[in-house]
Structure 1
């Protein structure tokens, strides 16, 4: 099993690579002469960023599952910070994807309108233009809603994993305490046995009292 330091170092390297790829992706623009085409640089960066996001997510899961002794006390905070970075970088990537797609659609619509406007300027062309604009708005709204749902699901997923990490940390501390303090497991077992014995005695006393009450009532009725 890899140590915490190795896993944290790998996650940091992926974080830096992701930040660099996103900085390059932000500068990408759509070719106005051929807006429908996806450039090689854009496609390569999208593939690279998608891979880096998955790798960083896997590294975070490995950090959560790490149980090595060199895990620092601030490990939970570090994991939570990595999750926030992953969520922010994912949001930035999707936002720029939407920006490029919106610009591509806008340029395509402008070319279509210019081409059809040169042919004729009748009402049919205006109706087609209106329909295209409405369709573009519907697509953008649906994309935005889907992005919000994905972001909310990612946030819930991160919170659940963070709670799991806290629970695992508590369990590890209890196990470690049991190893360091001799006889603590025996003491806990004795406490549990005493509690069970006390509950049994209490149940017997209650049962005897109920029997005596029933006997008294039945005797009073002359049965």
Structure 2
């Protein structure tokens, strides 16, 4: 294979590798921005044609993000190996066609050196993107486990939490009823105090009136004595009547 043919082959491999790395980098950027795309959603399955152009289309068979990333990583790894092998072939073709009188041109040497640098850069970019993807997926998996644990804990202790909430609501209602009862008791106490003050005021007025009229107290005492005397007389009459009734009843028998 001539130098031109080998150089063309290396450029084709480089174009394929660049397109794959670009598509893989975009895919990783999407996952890093939105890790939810890595779970349950279909993502773009990247394919390349022989000219090295990339085209992204949604997977028709529902391939998950993990399978797509693994397939792209395998393709990129194969292209890296192929790119390195093509560079070795390119370097070997220079040595095979070397002529002591006509050494390799500076253009050929720079081309080989440039492809070696591009290989190192491609490997570095691939490793960086792959590391970012692994970190994003690990973070999403960890968050998923944490959410699952939280949901499981809530589901397991939902009844206990509801019981605590019901008990708290019951206690709050009881406290409210106690507060209302205390307010009513305080209001009743205030009314009793007002009535006591009113009665005390009336008693004070009566005492004052009695002190101002000297004969009134003696009149009240006289009325009280007569009432007691009338009660005694009435009791005697009732007693005599009962005795007569009993005596009459015994005589008839």
Judge same fold: TM > 0.5, yes or no.
no
Higher relative contact order (CA 8 A, sep 6+): 1
TM-score, normalised relative to structure 2: 0.36
